[in-house]
């Protein structure tokens, strides 16, 4: 059997409830992209248009992109939660970006 060019992982789109397809990283062990100097980068998830009517506009979440490309995303509010996105910023924006209605504001640049 021939391996596929890109393995996929599945997630639900938060607005439509439909399945979203995200590219999956290689199953090989990860190695740090940056060793030391640059370190992790902090960001804010900024919602310009509240498509869902749930989270409002402005800064809706805070996050950290680690040196291996994975992301920790923290949602504040009444029910705060933190999620880890092994597939990185692209995966976060695929699910939460709402076609440009939500963007990333890097704080450490």
Domain segments of the chain: what residues?
Answer: 8-22+40-106
Chain-wide mean pLDDT for the chain? 77
Task: Find the helix or strand (DSSP H, E) in which 91 lies.
Answer: helix 88-96
pLDDT in tens, 53-97: 888 889 999 999 999 999 999 998 888 999 999 999 999 999 988
Termini Cα distance of the chain: 46
pLDDT in tens, 10-25: 455 555 555 555 555 5
**Which residue shows structure tokens 């639900």?**
12
**Which residue shows structure tokens 């980068």?**
41
């Amino acid at each position: 059997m021939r391996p596929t060019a890109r393995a996929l992982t599945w997630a639900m789109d938060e607005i439509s409830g439909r399945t979203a397809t995200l590219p999956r990283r290689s199953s090989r062990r990860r190695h740090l992209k940056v060793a030391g100097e640059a370190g992790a980068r902090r960001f804010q998830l900024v919602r310009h248009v509240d498509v869902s009517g749930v989270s409002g506009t402005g800064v809706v979440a805070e996050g950290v992109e680690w040196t291996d490309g994975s992301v920790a995303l923290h949602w504040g509010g009444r029910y705060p939660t933190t999620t880890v996105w092994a597939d990185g910023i692209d995966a976060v924006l695929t699910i939460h970006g709402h076609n440009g209605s939500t963007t990333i504001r890097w704080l450490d640049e």
